[in-house]
């Protein structure tokens, strides 16, 4: 069964097949290896009628709507409809999503993280030759699915930094929780793949509470992440922790969703 990459782009493996101009994967989920985008439609706010699949309130989706259509080239490695559905189902379950419906060619899921909700509909067609992704976000979501090493590398190359939303702490504490393991493992892979890469590991908090306490907490959390990575075999000299508390938000602190986005650990390219 093909492995589904979560967050970040997957390199196309079939020569001559290209994405339609101006299209790209959604940041929450990417594609089956080798597939390419034939069309995309993104609306800042729209509705999706899912009552044919779901009853009650779950059948009506409102929010930012992204529709992507993919094709898989002919050949012995073309996945079946079942493979497509099961790959996405497995990836969504791993990300903590609730599976609302699943069949031999469809998956419907709800993903809640950091105060935001996204709903996903995956549908395969034509014996696996085509499939589509429908993603409706009730609130803006940014990289809530744990990124793989390739996605981390891409983000660092493009922006010089990338946020890790898969590192978890209890409120007010700086002990890295066990469920952070998959994200830490991907950071280790990133560093193994590029022996020259050195990183600042920067802790951020939301704006709740005293600034000096938030700076102290963010610094302790960054140090805890460095300690966890060193414990996984990374040389301590390649990592430098820092904490900036609430001083570098990426969203408003006036909403729970914004606070969730601001509570993060970032990797910053240390040149």
**56 and 126, same domain (yes or no):** yes
Q: How confident is the model at residue 10 (pLDDT cuts 50, 70, 90)?
A: very low
Q: Is 74 exposed, middle or buried (0-12, 13-18, 19+ CB in 10 A)?
A: exposed
Question: How does the average pLDDT of the chain come out, rounded?
Answer: 87
pLDDT for the residue 15: 39
| Whole-number pLDDT of residue 155 | 85
Q: Find the helix or strand (DSSP H, E) in which 231 lies.
A: helix 211-231
Mean pLDDT calculated for residue range 17-28: 89
| Cβ(67)–Cβ(132) below 8 Å | yes
In a domain, 122, yes or no: yes
Residue 85 falls inside a structural domain: yes
Q: Domain of residue 159: give its range.
A: 149-269
User: pLDDT band at 171, cuts 50/70/90?
Assistant: confident
One domain for residues 62 and 129: yes
pLDDT of 17 above 80: no
* Phi, psi for residue 68 in degrees, rounded to 5: -125, 135
Q: What is the mean pLDDT of residues 236-264?
A: 89
Q: How many domains does the chain have?
A: 2
More confident residue, 151 or 200: 200
Residue 264 has pLDDT above 80, yes or no: yes
Residue 7 has which token pair?
Answer: 């967050």
Shared-domain flag, residues 259 and 160: yes
> Could you tell me if 127 and 205 lie in one domain?
no
Is the pLDDT confidence value at 50 over 70?
Answer: yes
- Answer yes or no: are the C-beta atoms of 136 and 64 closer than 8 Å: yes
Residue percentage of the chain with pLDDT more than 70: 90
Q: Are residues 70 and 155 located together in one domain of the fold?
A: no
CATH number of the CATH domain containing 200: 3.30.1330.60
pLDDT tens sequence across 85-131 = 999 999 999 888 999 999 999 999 999 876 678 999 999 999 999 99
Examine the domain organization and report whether 130 and 179 are in the same domain: no
Which is higher by pLDDT, 17 or 69? 69
**pLDDT grade for 166, boundaries at 50, 70 and 90:** confident
Rg (CA), the chain: 20
Cβ atoms of 226 and 268 within 8 Å: the answer is no
- pLDDT exceeds 90 at position 77: no
The pLDDT assigned to 234 comes to 97
pLDDT at residue 144 in the model: 45
Mean pLDDT across 140-157: 70
Residue in 174, 152, 175 with CA at minimum distance from that of residue 165: 152
Instruction: Give me the pLDDT at residue 115, please.
Output: 66
pLDDT at 60 over 90: no
| Cα(231)–Cα(254) distance, integer angstroms | 37
In a domain, 67, yes or no: yes
């Amino acid at each position: 069964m093909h492995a589904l990459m979560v967050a970040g782009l997957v390199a196309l493996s079939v020569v001559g097949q290209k994405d339609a101009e101006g299209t790209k994967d959604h940041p929450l989920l990417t594609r089956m290896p080798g597939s390419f985008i034939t069309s995309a439609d993104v609306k800042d706010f729209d509705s999706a009628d899912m009552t044919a699949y779901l009853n009650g309130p779950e059948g009506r989706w409102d929010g930012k709507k992204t529709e992507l259509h993919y094709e898989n080239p002919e050949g012995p490695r073309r996945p079946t409809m079942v493979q497509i559905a099961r790959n996405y189902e497995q990836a969504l379950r791993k990300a903590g999503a609730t599976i609302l419906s699943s069949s031999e060619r469809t998956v419907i899921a709800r993903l809640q993280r950091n105060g935001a909700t996204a709903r996903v509909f995956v549908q395969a067609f034509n014996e696996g030759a085509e499939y589509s992704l429908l993603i409706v976000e009730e609130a803006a979501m940014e990289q809530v699915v744990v990124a793989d090493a390739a996605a981390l590398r891409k983000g660092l190359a493009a922006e010089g930094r990338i946020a890790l939303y898969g590192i978890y702490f209890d409120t007010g504490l700086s002990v890295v929780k066990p469920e952070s393991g998959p994200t830490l493992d991907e950071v280790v892979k990133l560093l193994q793949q590029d022996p020259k890469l050195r990183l600042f590991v920067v802790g951020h908090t939301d704006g709740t509470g005293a600034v000096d306490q938030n700076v102290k907490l963010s610094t302790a959390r960054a140090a805890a992440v460095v300690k966890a990575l060193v414990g996984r075999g990374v040389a301590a000299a390649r990592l430098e922790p820092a904490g900036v508390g609430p001083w570098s938000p990426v969203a408003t602190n006036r909403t729970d969703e914004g606070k969730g986005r601001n509570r993060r650990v970032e990797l910053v390219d240390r040149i």
